[in-house]
Structure 1
Amino acid sequence: MLTRAFAEEFANDWLSAWNDRDIDRILSHYADDVVFHSPRISLVMGNDATCVKGKKALQAYWTTALGSAPQLFFALDDVLVSSDAVTILYTNHREQQVAETFLFNEEGEVYLSVAAYR
């Protein structure tokens, strides 16, 4: 069972890592076999992919995404906690509302993440 304290610490560090553009710190939260779903993947990568599988593929995707968005910034709106998941609600640099849900494995690493945009 995840606690509010864990969720808030995760959310704050995750957003801070993104805002610092620190890819290694961002990736430190993820399991090697992570699966990430987002409608942005196809836009950034120029293909029809809806998910990225594995930490190395995620690193490649996010490195490309960061390179194409020098103004990237996330502002925290709220943190929601479930038994084994955390959802972060934030507003991005495009003024879009985003909900990103993270499921955690036994080691406290994200093994599944799904981003949804308004």
Structure 2
Amino acid sequence: MDHTEARRFAEEWAAAWNSHDLDRIMTHYADDVVFRSPLAARIIEGSDGVVRGAEALRAYWAEGLRRNPGLRFEVVAVYTGLDTIVIAFRHQTGRPAAEVLTFRDGLIVSGMGALGPDGP
């Protein structure tokens, strides 16, 4: 994926999240996706922060959207690798975060969320 494609994807990714449309969000993910997140560790009991499969990911994000009705992401930067992109973004609270997303056949098969510091 070149940088132009990665940037386009990141903008659509953020727009999907900002719409709170779970179906739109999930169009980016493969059925066998594995996602790791420190937030998942807090929300999904016994998960150790690892969510396996699109159905489990949908359930996790449905709960996240329910808990955060004002959720909004702003893309700050996009980095490209061979089959991976990194999206640096800010939450509606101003908190920085990033997602590392690995693709296969145009869909995300592996993702990792990372959070920046809470304060300014």
Using the size of structure 1 for normalisation, the TM-score is: 0.93
Deviations 1:43-75 (A, max 9, x none): 223545311000000000000100010110101
Bigger shift: residues 88-97 or 59-68: 88-97
Bigger shift: residues 37-46 or 79-88: 37-46
Q: What are the equivalent positions in structure 2 for 1:1-118 lying under 5 Å apart?
A: 2-47=1-46, 49-105=48-104, 107-118=105-116
TM-align CA RMSD: 1.1
Shift of 1:9: 1.3
Q: How far apart, in 2, do the equivalents of 1:29 and 1:83 lie?
A: 18
Q: How far apart, in 1, do the equivalents of 2:70 and 2:6 lie?
A: 26
Shift of 1:94: 2.6
Deviations 1:1-55 (A, max 9, x none): x111210111010000000001111110000000000000122235453110000
Q: How far apart, in 1, do the equivalents of 2:38 and 2:9 lie?
A: 23
Q: How far apart, in 2, do the equivalents of 1:31 and 1:45 lie?
A: 20
Q: How far apart, in 1, do the equivalents of 2:112 and 2:100 lie?
A: 5
Percent identity over paired residues: 34
Q: From the superposition, tell whether residues 95 and 47 of structure 1 become closer, same or farther in structure 2 (CA, over 3 Å).
A: farther
Structure 1: 5+ residue runs without aligned partners? Answer: none
Deviations 1:79-115 (A, max 9, x none): 111111010000012321111010001x110000001
Q: How far apart, in 2, do the equivalents of 1:14 and 1:70 lie?
A: 17
Structure 2: 5+ residue runs without aligned partners? Answer: none
Shift of 1:116: 0.6
How many residue pairs end up in the alignment? 116
